[in-house]
Amino acid sequence: MAVRKIIRMGHPNLRNVAEPVPTEAIGSSELNRLIDDMVDTLHDYGGIGLAAPQIDEPYRLAIIEIPGGPGRYGEIDAFPLTVFINPIITVVDEATAGYWEGCLSVPGLRGYVERPQHIRIDYTDIDGNPGNLEFQGFWATVFQHEFDHLDGRLYIDRISDSSKLVFEEEFVRYGIGG
Ligand code: NI
C-alpha cells in the first residue's frame, strides 16, 4: 500500500489511450496492489475518482468514491468505493447538463463542462464478474470524466466556453457556480 504521485496536465502519458486490463491479471496480487495504491492515493489527495493513467499506469482501470452530502460539488448523493475494470460507456439519452468539474491532474482549476446526463456502464468488477449500472445527473458526469482519462482526455478538452475555465480560488471568492 502506497500513496503514488498523480501526474499532471502536461505529462505526455496522461494523453495516451490506456490498454485493457488482461483477463488473467484480474485477481492477481499485482493488480490488487495497484488498486490498493489507487485507493491510498485517492484518499491522500482527496477526490471522488482516480483513473490508473493518473498515476502513470497505462490500464483501463478506475475507482470512484463519492462521499456525498454537502461539499465542493454541492449537495450530492454518496456512491461507495467501487473498482471499474475495462469500463464501456453507452449514452442512453443525449440530453446534456453542465457541472463545474475539477481534476487531480489539473490542480487549482475548475471548468464548466456539459455532458449527457443518462448513461449506462458495462464493466468488469474486482472479482472478474461483469457488471452494468445506469447513472443520471451528477453521477453520469463523474463517470464520464473519470473514464475519459482512459482515452487520454481531460475535462478541459470538453469546455466549450473558455471563459468558464477558472482558478479554484476565484471560483470560491466570486461565488461562481452558485
Ligand atoms: Ni480527472
What's the pLDDT at 67?
85
For residue 40, is it within any domain? Answer: yes
CATH of the domain at 88: 3.90.45.10
CA–centroid distance, 59 to ligand 1, in Å, is 15
38/36 Cα distance (integer angstroms):
5
What's the pLDDT at 70?
76
Query: Hey, is 148 helix, strand or coil?
Result: helix
CA–centroid distance, 87 to ligand 1, in Å, is 16
For residue 87, is it within any domain? Answer: yes
What's the pLDDT at 72?
65
- CB 99 within 8 Å of CB 112: yes
Q: Which three cell numbers stand for residue 111?
A: 471548468
Is 30 considered catalytic here? no
For residue 82, is it within any domain? Answer: yes
Task: Scan for cell 494523453, then name that residue.
Answer: 15
Q: Which residue in the list 30, 114, 146, 169 is annotated as catalytic?
A: 146
The count of structural domains within the chain is: 1
For residue 165, is it within any domain? Answer: yes
For residue 7, is it within any domain? Answer: no
154/148 Cα distance (integer angstroms):
7
Q: What is the pLDDT of residues 105-160, one digit of tens each?
A: 999 999 999 999 999 999 999 999 999 999 999 999 999 999 999 999 999 999 99
178/163 Cα distance (integer angstroms):
16
Q: Is the pLDDT of residue 19 over 90?
A: yes
For residue 91, is it within any domain? Answer: yes
31/37 Cα distance (integer angstroms):
10
Q: What is the pLDDT of residues 64-96, one digit of tens each?
A: 999 877 776 667 788 999 999 999 999 999 999
Q: For residue 95, what are the domain limits? A: 12-173
